[in-house]
Homo-oligomer: A and B are copies of this chain.
Amino acid sequence: MNVIIASTSTVYGGKYLDYLTEELKSLFANIEELLFIPYARPNGMSYDEYTQLANNYFKFLDIKVNGIHTFDEPKKAIANAKAVFVGGGNTFVLVKTLYEYNLWSVLKQKIDNGMPYLGTSAGSNITGQTMRTTNDMPIVPVPSYKTMGIFPFNINPHYLDTTPELLKHMGETRDTRLKEYLHFNHTPVVALREGSYIKARKNQYLLKGSYNARVYFEINNVQEIAPETDLKPLFENS
């Protein structure tokens, strides 16, 4: 496993993927072509537009970005890929499309075999056990909430702390929503604040970035975990 999953593609005030550049140089060292999966369609943008956005960034790393939609057989495109990046957007739209093309097992197998993988936001959500902790609206139906399951937990990207300003407008807080999830589900959740990411190898899930992750083990066991912590041992008995 050679994976980076990030809460977001873009930190506030920064440019697309810019804060991850040093990590991506390392993740994609010796990679010349990257397979991009634009299915999540942020802002409803087209696959071509979204692929162009990714390409605009990666050309500075001398990496060519190929959108999976330009291949006749998406499953084969993944099977032949040297590296994959799944961008953010709407998780329901992404998951629906991955089911339509039956891409889950080939993607998981490639990641298990060490192919470099980058996921941001929805692209991080799908590495968890299920998409039940997405923040996105159910704008399209999905056949199942089950996702790739390369980690023994779920991801909640864009984790929002409960501040007085937010309380004025939020309805329920993110913390409440995640605890509601735990009333009905037992898979723990790693909630990542903006700018946080997990750098994962087979034997280590390293938390990176400037902020703690908030890990929901159970409804009465929620812990703040510091950057540079290996998350993997925390889930070994769960």
Contacts and interface: CB of A to CB of B under 8 A. Distances in A.
A230 to B, nearest CB: 26
Interface in A181-238: 181-185, 193-194, 219
A177 B219 contact: no
B90 A180 contact: yes
Interface in A125-154: 131-141, 145
Interface in A70-105: 88-90, 93
Interface stretch (A54-62, A107-115, A157-165): A157-165
A121 B184 CA distance: 20
Contacts of A169: 12, 158, 160-161, 193-194
Interface in A26-60: 41-44
Contact of A171 (B135, B137, B170, B172): B135
Interface of A: 7-8, 12, 41-44, 88-90, 93, 121, 131-141, 145, 157-158, 160-161, 165-172, 176-185, 193-194, 219
14 contacts: A12-B169, A41-B180, A42-B176, A43-B176, A44-B219, A90-B180, A132-B140, A134-B138, A137-B177, A139-B183, A139-B184, A160-B169, A168-B194, A169-B194
